[in-house]
Structure 1
């Protein structure tokens, strides 16, 4: 489909989704939210795509919600506000549950809802000069819809501080609290993203999808009999899968697995 607020490109097995509203620092509105949801649904279901990069045009990565869109919401009824918030929640969940690994390329400032976009991704690469801010309380709001993903990414302790203070913090601090996996000079961001994508594409597509699900399902759960049974079932099933058998055979035969051909 044709997108008005995004730019979609596919090169080989890599898709890049680029936020393309630089004139408003890539702030999102109802149209952007709908298009991001559709794009990730489409790319997640594509047999041709094995990894996705989320990027942005312009000076900033994402400034959060578009102010004109937020101003309009002030006149909504409670039911309309709830429905609107659910669209944002659905967008974030679509990224988070996407069966393909998603790498966030954060080249510039990332504020408020933009941090939710990034936190829903699997790997985060940030430029050294990028700044982050959970600015909602400055506007009398709270980062409610993005909170499940941001708290998972930075931890409860860091979230408690930055949710309450709305302080701006650096990429180095984002890395320290675990929000960003890699922080590099701006000139090196594409090389680092390419390095991570190369690693992702070298692996079994099915195993990557199942490993992504595994992290979501196991994190924070007790190590009890049910957990042992579930993880044993998962490894048994993937050992017997087509790619599981092919991966072991190719290793023993000292050749590339079929997914690299």
Structure 2
């Protein structure tokens, strides 16, 4: 299911929230917001959902490594994003929570095995990312 954005989301291919590389049968999906400890915002959530949905449909892949740039794997939700959400209506909050749940489901239900390569701190929603992986490796 697709939940429409009630606020504009810039999840364009030029976004830098996420990098995706493929080498042979292995894809590497890297959270790329080290300046905020790879915290979620609406763009990162949209990119992760779309990326794992697409990668899961690739019959050539045998594994997906979920990694992160910087010292922290993921600090959960971005505080500035959460502050902006404080004024959201019930419908906006519900749609936002549904998009987060859909992103986590896209990772959890991905038919390609997901290996989380975890370094540093993991908090709140970041723990959810780790829990969605099939295998977790602490580095």
Give the structure-1-normalised TM-score. Answer: 0.48
1:50 matched to 2:62: yes
Q: Deviations over 1:162-199 (max 9, x none)?
A: xxxxxxxxxxxxxxxxxxxxxxxxxxxxxxxxxxxxxx
Cα drift, residue 92 of structure 1: 0.3
Measured after TM superposition, the shift of residue 49 of structure 1 is 1.4
Q: Measure the CA separation in 2 of the matches of 1:4 and 1:21.
A: 8
What 5-or-longer segments of structure 2 have no aligned partner? 1-11
The higher-RCO structure (CA 8 Å, 6+ apart) is: 2
For residue 100 of structure 2, the aligned residue among 69, 88, 113 is: 88
Residue correspondence of structure 1 range 72-83 to structure 2 within 5 A: 72-83=84-95
The alpha-carbon deviation at position 50 of structure 1 amounts to 1.5
User: How far, CA to CA, are the matches of 1:79 and 1:40 in structure 2?
Assistant: 26
Cα-to-partner distance string for 1:61-120 (whole Å, 9 max, x where unaligned): 000000011001110011110110000000000000000000000011000000001101
Q: Which runs of 5+ in 1 are unaligned?
A: 128-261
CA distance in 2, matches of 1:76, 1:106: 32
- What is the count of residue pairs matched by the alignment? 127
Q: Secondary structure at the match of 1:110?
A: coil
Q: Does 1:60 align with 2:60?
A: no
What stretches of structure 1 move > 2 A for 4+ residues in a row? 1-4
Rg: which structure is higher? 1
Q: Counterpart in 2 of 1:10?
A: 22
Query: In the alignment, which residue of structure 1 is the partner of 2:7?
Result: none
Corresponding residue for 1:23?
35
Cα deviation 1:202-240 (Å, max 9, x = unaligned): xxxxxxxxxxxxxxxxxxxxxxxxxxxxxxxxxxxxxxx
Greater fraction strand: 2
**Pairwise mapping of residues 212-223 of structure 1 onto structure 2 (< 5 A)?**
none
Question: What is the CA-CA distance between 1:123 and the residue it aligns to?
Answer: 0.5
1:150-165 counterparts in 2 under 5 A? none
Q: CA deviation at 1:48?
A: 2.1
The residue aligned with 2:111 is 99
Which position in structure 2 is the counterpart of 1:141?
none
